[in-house]
Structure 1
Amino acid sequence: MATIKDIALQAKVSSTTVSRVLNHDQTLSVAPETRQRILDIAHQLGYKNSRKRRDEQAPAAEGGSPRIGIVVCQTQEEELNDPYFYSIRQGIESECFEKGVFITKFIQLSSIRSSQPVGDVDGLIVIGRINFSGLRQIVGEAAKVVYINHTDSEEQHDSVVVDFQKAAARAVNHLKSLGCKRIGYIGGREKEHFRISDQKTETVEIEDKRLTTFLEMAGAENADNVYIGEYTMQQGYELMKQALLAKHVPEAFFIASDSMAIGALRALRESGIKVPEDVALVSFNGIEAAEFANPPLSTVKVHTEEMGRTGVKLLLDRISGRSLPLQVTVPSELIIRESCGSGRRD
């Protein structure tokens, strides 16, 4: 029986690309001829996804597989700039295929309108931050919902989250354990979507617990060593350039995303500052590129793909009848590499 991997090998693309094409993900940037080649190969091999095979074998009364939608709060540009949320989406797609669930809708919040609510789904997985009132504009009262990387303040929906406070504390504690006293922070702005109109999606800036934890742990003497922009590689580069203009440059930095840290590394290299000899770095997310940076980045790894998979499991369980909303906290881990002067794992 043909699998996604078989199709990927013949089409000479990744399994993820195949799954997104077969799942009719219109946000996927792929050449039309590549998309058609994948569909042709799938047809030639007689590919049937798990949902279709199960529906063919199941009695009609069972109604087949649940219909799942994904709502992404990030724009395509934001996903490209920071792979954190894209990795969550990969976990959702992988788990859906393995469970035989078909993703029938994919919505980016930037393109939805209040006059076009989501219908015809049994449940939604929301990646990112949108408050309860904004979510009701999209889904109304009916659909089951799981938030990923956010929580429902009304406690009506399931959620999968990270303990950002504990994760940030690990990073700052490690830098302090190395004897670092002047510690800087480079991070982005956390935003929550709160209202959707026919003109735009409105946001409000909210607390970033990584920054809050840093300020609590690093002490008042480091309050001036905080640099905030957007979660992009370019902003990491520019904010580090700004930090290097200070009279007393910090001897270490906690950087709130790996992408920003890679940009910061370039700024340090251009300024002739060695890492970790002159400045130690610990970043956040644990994306694959962090391991291949120069030097490899110490980072707080968040298991983003597992967050996506867990969201699917929660939603299917809720659709099956569970009424009590649950919150699952996925643990993080501190991986020590060369950017802070050590090669061990904490």
Structure 2
Amino acid sequence: MATIKEIAAKANVASSTVSRVLNNDPSLSVADETRARILDIAKELGYTTLKERKGTQSSFPEKQPRIGISFVHTLEEKIDGVEDPYFTAIRKGVENECANQGIYANKMIRMSDDDKAFDHELDGLIVVGGTSMEVLESIRKIKNVVFINHCPDEENFDCVVIDFEKATENALTHLFNQGYKKIGYLGGTERDYLSDHKVVVNKRFSTYKKILESKGTFCEEYVVIGEYTMTQGYDLMKEFIKKGNLPEAFFVASDSMAIGAMHALQEANIKVPEDLAIVGFNDIQMARFASTPLTTVKVYTEQMGRVGVQLLLDKMNGREIPLKVTVPTKLTVRQSCGANR
């Protein structure tokens, strides 16, 4: 049977548009010609909706569930006016899975990262990013909650996370295997955006420090901390170059920062990876198209968003035991680390 993705590709529209047309979303504003084209292609490919496949039975009542989605994650939107690609991909996964499940974007309640007054009448809540104990107590009043990229209380809440420690260890092990001993760290500050922007533990840095200390090679001078933006990566690396005494390699905690840092190195005629190796984190789309294709830890961000929605709907259907899903990561080796020179 055809999928929504296949219909979208043939109709040259977004998957969410196809889902909303096929599920008769009355709030969707789309040209009659586009609607007719989607319906014709669906019929041609033999597509049937989830409701049609299940007959008249449905997991939910006819009334749409009220799902709140709170994105409390990054300062980049406030500084540069653009979204962090990492959290943009998680949001895309959440929205696409909601569309796939017939839950429309207009039915969701979007809360800003400064909003601490959660609507306790919600049927479910997805929280992307970390939060404080103060806000956590408010969230507890909502029956069905899923955290993505953060796990504040796994005994009471569902969560979707990655193993930052293992991912960082894999990246550093790769650099060690390439013969690098002096490895620096370039990263951003982790903050709780629902609690006065308090700094929280950054597992990438703490793991980096622990591993290098165990090898006796940790050097405070090789640690550079700023914000998770491309501009910061560029500025911080430019300042570091002026000081001199560069390490042999850098583990960079986000691809955006890594790409900015590589631009600063290029301006200073410091070649990557010949003079300095770089390994990033996230594997955003731009990483493979950087001036030197970036070796990076691939995080399946869109899948994290999809899994978060699936967990929430499962919980709303009666599951009582909270689940913690750890989505695996994978080191994607390109040219910037020197392995594929």
Same-fold call, TM > 0.5?
yes
Cα distance in 1 between the residues matched to 2:13 and 2:162: 32
Q: Describe how 1:76-91 pairs up with structure 2 within 5 A.
A: 77=77, 80-91=82-93
Q: Describe how 1:155-194 pairs up with structure 2 within 5 A.
A: 155-194=155-194
AA at the equivalent of 1:320: N
After superposition, give the CA deviation of every residue in 1:184-231 in whole Å (9 maximum; x if it has no partner).
Answer: 110000112454xxxxxx221011011111111223542220000000
Q: Does 1:318 align with 2:288?
A: no
Q: Percent identity?
A: 43
In the other structure, the counterpart of 1:118 is 119
- Greater shift, 101-110 or 313-322, is seen at 101-110
Cα 1:180–1:59 shift into 2, 3 Å: closer
Cα 1:265–1:2 shift into 2, 3 Å: closer
- Greater shift, 77-86 or 327-336, is seen at 77-86
Cα 1:280–1:262 shift into 2, 3 Å: same
Cα distance in 2 between the residues matched to 1:343 and 1:106: 46
Cα 1:73–1:90 shift into 2, 3 Å: same
AA at the equivalent of 2:110: I
In the other structure, the counterpart of 2:151 is 151
AA at the equivalent of 2:328: P
In the other structure, the counterpart of 2:142 is 142
How big is the shift at 1:232?
0.2
In the other structure, the counterpart of 2:228 is 231
Cα 1:342–1:59 shift into 2, 3 Å: closer
Cα distance in 2 between the residues matched to 1:271 and 1:18: 49
In the other structure, the counterpart of 2:112 is 109
In the other structure, the counterpart of 2:101 is 99
Cα distance in 1 between the residues matched to 2:231 and 2:310: 36
How big is the shift at 1:68?
2.3
AA at the equivalent of 1:94: N
In the other structure, the counterpart of 1:215 is 209
AA at the equivalent of 1:67: R
TM-score (norm 1): 0.80
Q: Does 1:259 align with 2:261?
A: no
After superposition, give the CA deviation of every residue in 1:8-44 in whole Å (9 maximum; x if it has no partner).
Answer: 876x664468879999xxxxxxxxxxx9556884488
After superposition, give the CA deviation of every residue in 1:211-258 in whole Å (9 maximum; x if it has no partner).
Answer: 111111223542220000000000000111122123311110000000
Q: CA RMSD in A?
A: 3.5
How big is the shift at 1:316?
1.4
* 1:335 aligned residue (324, 332, 337): 332
Alpha carbons 1:189, 1:208 under 8 Å: kept = yes
TM-score (norm 2): 0.81
In the other structure, the counterpart of 1:67 is 66
Cα 1:38–1:163 shift into 2, 3 Å: farther
In the other structure, the counterpart of 1:199 is none
Q: Aligned residue pairs: how many? A: 323
Cα distance in 2 between the residues matched to 1:237 and 1:281: 13
In the other structure, the counterpart of 1:241 is 238
How big is the shift at 1:50?
5.5
Alpha carbons 1:298, 1:335 under 8 Å: kept = yes
How big is the shift at 1:81?
4.3
In the other structure, the counterpart of 1:133 is 134
Alpha carbons 1:92, 1:311 under 8 Å: kept = yes
AA at the equivalent of 1:90: K
In the other structure, the counterpart of 1:287 is 284
Alpha carbons 2:18, 2:38 under 8 Å: kept = no
Cα 1:120–1:338 shift into 2, 3 Å: same
Q: Describe how 1:298-309 pairs up with structure 2 within 5 A.
A: 298-309=295-306
Q: Does 1:278 align with 2:270?
A: no
Point out where structure 2 has 5 or more consecutive residues left out of the alignment.
43-47
Cα 1:242–1:67 shift into 2, 3 Å: same
Secondary structure class of the residue paired with 1:259: helix
Cα 1:141–1:253 shift into 2, 3 Å: same
Cα 1:8–1:42 shift into 2, 3 Å: farther
Cα distance in 1 between the residues matched to 2:166 and 2:99: 33
How big is the shift at 1:102?
3.6
Cα 1:176–1:16 shift into 2, 3 Å: farther
Secondary structure class of the residue paired with 1:308: helix
